[in-house]
């Protein structure tokens, strides 16, 4: 991918906290390495300074009724050679579809 001139999108649960808070179990350099490799962090592109936290929405058992407040941003969308038009955190209200909030983005091929 590094040599490709085509637009590239990397999206998923990277288990690498990009929030900058420095708490939680996912303090790995992966997200920063992707940005250093030339990819835009779509959340930071449109929401600089906003946390956009996605994990965890609840602790291990959703049925235990113990919601929590997310403290990491590990669900990420990176793009290269694309313009980020929109990005949002979704699915972060009960009933939760997952233990993670989702992230959606609208990207446009640059002209």
Q: Which domains are assigned to the chain?
A: 8-109 (3.60.10.10)
Q: What is the pLDDT of residue 96?
A: 80
- The enclosing H or E element of 12 equals strand 8-13
Q: What is the pLDDT of residue 66?
A: 62
Q: What is the pLDDT of residue 67?
A: 63
Q: What is the pLDDT of residue 42?
A: 98
pLDDT along the chain (111 residues), means of 10: 90 97 95 97 97 87 68 97 97 86 94 60
φ, ψ dihedrals at 35, nearest 5°: -65, -45
Report pTM. 0.91
């Amino acid at each position: 991918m590094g040599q490709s001139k085509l637009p590239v999108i990397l999206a998923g649960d990277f288990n690498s906290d990009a929030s900058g808070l420095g708490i939680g179990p996912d303090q790995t350099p992966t997200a920063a390495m992707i940005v250093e490799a030339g990819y835009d962090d779509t959340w930071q592109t449109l929401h600089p300074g906003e946390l956009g936290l996605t994990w965890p929405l609840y602790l291990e058992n959703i049925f235990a009724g113990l919601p929590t407040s997310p403290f990491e941003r590990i669900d990420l969308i990176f793009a290269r050679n694309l313009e980020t038009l929109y990005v949002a955190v979704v699915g972060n209200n009960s009933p939760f579809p997952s233990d993670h909030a989702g992230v959606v983005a609208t990207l446009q091929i640059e002209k």
